[in-house]
Amino acid sequence: MPLPDTMFCAQQIHIPPELPDILKQFTKAAIRTQPADVLQWSAGYFSALSRGDPLPVKDRIEMPVATQKTDTGLTQGMLKVLHKQCGHKQYVELADLEQKWKNLCLPIEKFRAILQLDPCDHKVEWIKFLALGCSMLGGSLNTTMKNLCEILTSDPEGGPARIPFQTFSYVYRYLSKLDSDVHTADTESYLASLQEKVDSRKNVMIGLSDFFFLKRKI
Amino acid sequence: MSVPFSNTHYRIPQGFGNLLEGLTCEILREQPDNIPSFAAAYFENLLEKREKTNFDPAEWGSKVDDRFYNNHAFKFDPRLLFWKHCLFDPLPSLQEQEPPEKEKSQTPVKEETPVTALESSEEDKEKEEQAAVKIQAIFRGHLAREEVKKMKQDDLEGKTKENN
């Protein structure tokens, strides 16, 4: 319906039937994701929505855990969002990834820093980038693997966070190869010991409880 | 509106309300067929604008909110400025009564009153000028009277001192 030239009252405004729902979902997404730069994130949200891509939205609100010293904006939740957006492809174009990174209001220096760990042109294997991102979250190799499991798993949150052992060993080998202090023999023996545990199960999945033990303070 | 009361509750991001309002306005005005792509273009446009002019509607909106909640703005009343001009300027020209540029950008909502006054017709301007002259006259009279009062008091005091 074309609008008449003169507006006399609010009833004349035609509200598209799908608009309220779009706005509602948009608002819910914004509250859940808590973007640092709302404008940048909104642009990313709608460009993803119009192209039918997965949206840059966190599944649930994430309490700010970073202290001022380590605050770079990169969190597990952010990586999870990126994984949701890129995880369906094996390789991701760097330009595309950079845009998504920017739309999540993450600092571009961090992106470059991650890529410097393992330089590559044009495109990057997604699982590798994700692993490097997890290692950026800080902590040891074990914490990195824990974060990775929690992102990759299809178990419900707070669950055993199981992932296929194949993926686990692939990432573990990759990361320990980058770290020159770790000997290949150590890595292999560690993986073999884990393999024994996992093989006894029907599905070849490895969970958090298999390798990640909380250090108890006495 | 983000009211910072608690860390543990869902909070609307700073300036989000402002963005949402702008987007809704534009959609209702343009009535696009494909809302998501229109919204994408709209935000791209805003981003581009921000890069060029450094104007962030979200930031601006949060500033307005902040002013509303923390009340800094209401400590300053533009009408005060108006009266000051009327009283102390020898010849108040109406153009000068516009608040300086700085305040304009910081207090975009409240400037409505002076702006509407400025946009009024020539006749109104004349009236205002006359009113301003009147106010000036009254105030000057008041000042003069105060001075005379003071002089008289001083005189009296001096006389009493002499008498003593």
Interface of B with A (CB under 8 A): 7-8, 10-16, 19-20, 23-24, 27-28, 31, 34-37, 39-40, 42-44, 46-47, 50, 56-58
The pLDDT value given to residue A71:
55
State whether residue A123 is helix, strand or coil: strand
d(CA B110, CA B124): 21
Token digits of residue B129: 């000028």
Inter-chain CB proximity B35 and A31 less than 8 Å: no
∠ Cα B139 B145 B151 (to 5°): 140
In angstroms, rounded to a whole number, what is the distance separating the alpha carbons of residues B156 and B115? Answer: 50
pLDDT in tens, B12-24: 887 888 888 889 9
CB contact under 8 A, B28 and A43: no
Cβ distance A38 to B7 less than 8 Å, yes or no, reads no
Partner-chain contact A39 B35, CB within 8 Å: no
Instruction: Give B106→chain A minimum CA distance, Å.
Output: 21
Q: A92-122: per-residue pLDDT in tens?
A: 888 888 888 888 878 888 888 888 887 777 8
Q: Give the closest-approach CA distance of B58 to chain A in angstroms.
A: 7
If DSSP codes are grouped into helix, strand and coil, which group holds residue A134? Answer: helix
Which pLDDT value is given to residue A214?
Answer: 57
| Residues A131, A150: Cα–Cα separation, whole Å | 12
B11, B20, B31 member nearest A27 (Cβ): B20
Q: Average of pLDDT values for A39-55? A: 87
Q: Which of B11, B40, B47 sits opposite A39 (nearest CB)?
A: B47
Domain ranges of chain A: 139-218
Q: What is the ipTM of this complex?
A: 0.71
Please indicate whether, in this complex, the C-beta atoms of B12 and A42 are within 8 angstroms of each other: no
Taking residue A118's Cβ as centre, other Cβ atoms within 10 Å add up to 16
B contacts of A35 (beta carbons < 8 Å): 13
Matching residue, tokens 């492809």: A89
Does residue B58 contact residue B15 with C-beta atoms inside 8 Å? yes
Q: Which helix (H) or strand (E) holds A124?
A: strand A123-125
**Do the Cβ atoms of B31 and A18 come within 8 Å?**
no
- The tally of CA atoms less than 13 A away on the side-chain side of residue B31 is 9
CB atoms within 10 A of CB B152: 10
d(CA A165, CA A197): 11
Q: Give the model confidence (pLDDT) of A156-213 as tens digits.
A: 777 777 888 888 888 888 888 887 777 778 888 888 888 877 777 766 777 777 777 6
What residue in A sits closest to B29 (Cα-Cα)?
A: A13
What is the C-alpha to C-alpha distance for residues B72 and B75, in angstroms, rounded to an integer?
A: 6
B32: nearest CA in chain A?
A16
Q: From CA B136, how far away is CA B87, in angstroms rounded?
A: 5
- Mean pLDDT taken over chain B: 72
Interface with A, mutate which of B9, B19, B42, B60 (most A CBs under 10 A): B19
Asked whether the predicted pLDDT for residue B124 surpasses 60, the reply is yes
A27-31, A118-122, B56-60, B157-161 — most confident range:
A27-31
